[in-house]
Amino acid sequence: MRRLMKALKGLWSLAVGLRITAVELIKPQITVHYPRKEVDNLATYRGHIELVPQDEDPGTPRCIMCWRCVDICPSRCITLRMHVQGEETGRAADPGLRLSPDVQVPYSQHLAPPPDRIVRVLDGYRLNYSLCSLCGLCVQSCPVDAIRFTGNAYLVGTTRQTFDIDLLARLQQRAASTAAARGAARAA
């Protein structure tokens, strides 16, 4: 008799389960159907990094070429090229490991480095996104807030080159296009 009761109770538990799935069956869907609709919470998403332009000049990055981002990056995905104004040849980033304790900076509390008397020019700033683990150490360690995250969640590509992003070119392109847009707006 006890076993019979137990079996009946078990059957009842199955019926309860069926009731729940039946209720869920008629509830509205909760998935976001991607190509037609996109999720709306990308504002806080942190995709790959980009360079921040100077306030007065949208075509020039804020970067002061202190190399901190290059040095802190755990996967060495940032490549920086620069030259000092007046010098003939540019200096490429040291291809070897730059993990000496003298140059690594954890994150700077936004302390500006000592003023530079020489003028440095940024020649190139590339991000190899396929190596990046989005840890955010570079953004934090930047003393002048020259790097920020993008909300770019939909980056796809078929070749590795797609993920080797020239951030400097990206910044200049964007500046040019906004300028053009502004010009067009003014003309209109």
Partner 1 sequence: MIAQLTAWLMHPLGHMIAALAAIMAFVGVNGLVLVYMERKVAGFIQRRPGPYEVGPQGLLQPVADAGKLISKQLATPEGADRLMFWAAPILSMAPVVICFLPIPFSPLLTGMDVNLGLLLILAFSGLNSLALCLAGWGSNNKYSLLGAARAVAQAVAYEIPLLLSVLAVAFQTGSLNLSVIAQEQTRGLLSWNVFTHPLAFFIFFVASVAETNRSPFDLPEAESELTAGFHTEYSGMGFGLFFLAEYSYMVIVCAVATALFLGGWDGPVLPGIWWFLAKVFGLIFVMMWFRWTFPRVRFDQLLNICWKWLIPLGLLNLVVTALMIKLVR
Partner 2 sequence: MGHDVNEKLTGDFYTKHFAPALSEDGDTLILNIGPQHPATHGVLRVVVELDGEYIRKSEPVLGYIHRMHEQMGEVKTYPQYLPNMGRVDYLHALAWNWAYVGAVEKLMGITVPPRAEYIRVITCELNRISSHLLWWGAYLLDLGGFTPILYGFADRERILDILQIVTGSRLTYCYFRFGGVVTDVTDEFIALTRQFCRDFTQRLPMYRDLVTGNMILRGRCEDIGVLSPEMARRYGATGPVLRGSGVAYDVRRFEPYSVYDRLAFDIPTGQAGDAMDRYEVRMAEMAQSVRIIEQALEALPAGDVVSPDLPERVIPPKGEIYFAVEGARGKIGVYLLSDGTAKPYRLKLRSPSFSNLSLFAELAQGTLLADAISIMGSLDLVIPEIDR
Binding-site ranges for partner 1 (CB under 8 A):
7, 14, 17-18, 20-22, 24-31, 33
Q: How far is the CB of 157 from partner 1 (least distance, A)?
A: 22
Q: What x-and-dash track marks residues 34-63 binding partner 2 by CB under 8 A?
A: -------x--xxx-----------------
Sheet containing 120-128: order of strands: 91-92, 78-84, 120-128, 164-166
Site mask, partner 2, residues 62-91, x = CB under 8 A?
----------xxxx----------------
Q: What is the C-alpha separation between 89 and 28, in angstroms, rounded?
A: 64
Q: Tokens 């981002």 identify what position?
A: 69
How far is Cα 81 from Cα 91, in angstroms, rounded to an integer?
A: 6
Residue 137 found at the interface with partner 2 (CB under 8 A): yes
**Binds 99: which of partner 2, partner 1, none (CB < 5-8 Å by kind):** partner 2
Exactly one of 9, 33, 36, 117 binds partner 2 (CB under 8 A); which one? 9
Q: Which residues contact 116 (CB under 8 A, 6 or more apart)?
A: 64
Is residue 30 near partner 2 by the rule CB under 8 A? yes
> At its nearest, how many Å lie between partner 1 and the CB of residue 104?
47
Q: How far is Cα 122 from Cα 125, in angstroms, rounded to an integer?
A: 7
CA–CA distance from 91 to each of 10, 61, 118, 123, 173 (Å)?
75, 18, 14, 9, 24
Q: Among residues 171, 186, 184, which one has the least CA distance to residue 54?
A: 171
Of 11 and 112, CB closest to partner 2: 11
- Kindly state the smallest distance separating residue 28's Cβ from partner 1, in Å: 8
Q: Residue numbers of the site for partner 2 (CB under 8 A)? A: 9-11, 13-14, 16-17, 20-21, 24, 30, 41, 44-46, 72-75, 99-101, 104-109, 133-137, 140, 149
